[in-house]
Amino acid sequence: MVLIGVVSTGDPLLRQIFRGDYGKAVRRAGGVPVFLTWNRKHVPFWEKHLNGFLFTGGGDPDPKYYGQAMLPQCGAPNVARDEYELALLQRVIAAGKPVLGICRGEQILNVAMGGTLIQDIPSQHPEAAAENHRDNDHRCTPDHPARVLPGTYLHSLLGCEALLTNSIHHQAVDAPAPGMRVCALSPAGIVEGIEAVDGRFLLGLQWHPEAVAGKDERMQRPFDALVGASRKGK
C-alpha cells in the first residue's frame, strides 16, 4: 500500500471538488490518498508514515517567506496553511520523500527550497497578460499553451515538447530555488514547471492536471510518477 499525503485546500466549498479530483488521480495511479489538515504537531508523524506527498492549489503564500514586501495585488496569506506546508516540506524533503506540487503547491515547494515568486503576473509581467493565466472558465478544458523543455524529467515523463494546460493562477515561480530547474514555460516565459536537478522526485506544475487526468492520459502521468517514486522509496 502506497500512502500519499494530500494537503487540504482548507476551503469548505472547494474541499469536495479537490478531494475528488486529487483523490481520483492518486487512486488511478494505485496510491491511497490521505487528506491532511493544517496541524503542525502532526508533521513528524506524517513524514514518518506516509510514502509521498501532494501539495495542492490554493491562495497566495506570504511574500515574507521569500524576502519580499507584499504588493497590493497579492492575495491575503493564510498563516496556518503557510506555516504548516513549509514545516511539512522541510521535513519530507530532508527525508527524501517524493513531492508533487500543483499550482500553489509548485509555488510553496519553490519557496520552501529558497526560491522566489512573481506576486502578480499582470502587473509585474504585462507581456504575459494576454496569456490569461487565471482562466477559471477553462478549469476542465485546457487551452493555455506550455513548452516542455527538452532534456528535462518532465519531457521524458510527458513525451512531448508542447501541450495545452488549464491554468488558474496569477502568481508563478520567479527565481527557481537552488537545486531546482525550470522544465516548462509559457510562450511569454512564465514558469509552468520546475523539477529537481539531482534526480529526486520533486516536481512542480503550475497547471491543474488533476482536473483533466481522467480524460487525458498525459495529465495522469505526474500522479503515476509520484506513486511510482513513493513505492520505490518504501
Which of 47, 85, 192, 210 is an active site residue? 210
- List the grid coordinates of 226: 509520484
Active site residue 210: yes
- Bridge partners of 55? 101
**38: closest CA among 5, 70, 63, 1?**
5
Active site residue 195: no
Active site residue 103: yes
**What region, left, alpha or beta, does residue 225 occupy, with left being phi > 0 and alpha being psi -120 to 50 degrees?**
alpha
What's the DSSP call for residue 176?
A: P
Which residues make Cβ contacts (< 8 Å) with residue 117, sequence separation at least 6?
Answer: 61, 63, 66, 107, 110, 111, 171, 172, 173, 174
Are 90 and 113 a contacting pair, CB within 8 Å? no
Which of 47, 74, 103, 169 is an active site residue? 103
Active-site residues: which are they? 103, 208, 210
